[in-house]
Chains A and B, each alone.
Chain A
Amino acid sequence: QVQLQESGPGLVKPSETLSLTCSVSGGSLSGYYWSWIRQPPGKGLEWIGYVYYTGITNYNPSLKSRVTISADTSKNQFSLELTSVTSADTAVYYCARHLRDKGHFEYWGQGTLVTVSS
């Protein structure tokens, strides 16, 4: 059974960089697309972007100038960096594996709350 686990700081200061890692167990990064999705408290879901195991990426235009997603197949991990954060970036951040080559999300991490505050 594929399992995903997010890790990283739960508190980030305004204007700094949010960095999260998703560790994958029970399966390999190879052959799949991997996404980051976020959910502000009490609100809906927003797709941030994906990385293919080869390193190809695609980002939400609303965040594109601030986002970098990368994959490390040797560690079976992929990562998110979001620069110049503000309070609007406070959210639960989920990592997810796509369903085969489709843009739907079959496996999800449990999510990690990141709060942007000084």
Chain B
Amino acid sequence: EIVLTQSPATLSLSPGERATLSCRASQSVSSYLAWYQQKPGQAPRLLIYDVSTRATGIPGRFSGSGSGTDFTLTISSLEPEDFAVYYCQQRSAWPYTFGQGTKLEIK
């Protein structure tokens, strides 16, 4: 099973700042990595798939990068609605696995 480790566990920032979230895989997942946003009481929402492709309707301030084992989700300028928990997920090998999440909180 591929283990995804996200860092930091919690990120405290202010609106307007840039957020950088990391996801490291225990073995290469090629480009088969996605990012999700989850708000309290809601289902996760797909933000980015295949490392850097934004899902339908996702604002341009969200971007993804990386390859192999190291990946980054960047939010260029935080909006109030961006404060949530973010998960990475790989589809390179079964079982599909998720990271443990990064909580992005308002500073």
Neighbouring A residues of B98 by C-beta, 8 Å: 44-47
> Min CB distance, A14 to chain B, in Å?
25
The reply to whether B97 and A104 contact each other, CB–CB distance below 8 Å, is no
Query: Which residues of chain B from 1 to 59 have any CB-CB distance to chain A below 8 Å in the complex?
Result: 1, 32, 34, 36, 42-46, 49-50, 55-56
Which residues of A have CB within 8 Å of B96?
Answer: 35, 47, 103
Tally of contact residues, B, Cβ under 8 A: 24
B71 within 8 A of A: no
A99: which of B1, B49, B100 is its contact (CB, 8 Å)? B49
Indicate with 1 or 0, residue by residue over B87-105, a CB within 8 angstroms of chain A CB atoms. 1010100111111110000
Q: Number of A residues contacting the other chain (C-beta, 8 Å)?
A: 21
A94 to B36 CA separation, bound complex (whole angstroms): 14
Give B residues with C-beta under 8 Å from A. Answer: 1, 32, 34, 36, 42-46, 49-50, 55-56, 87, 89, 91, 94-101
Please report A residues at the B interface, Cβ cutoff 8 Å: 35, 44-47, 58, 60-62, 94, 96, 99, 102-106, 108-111
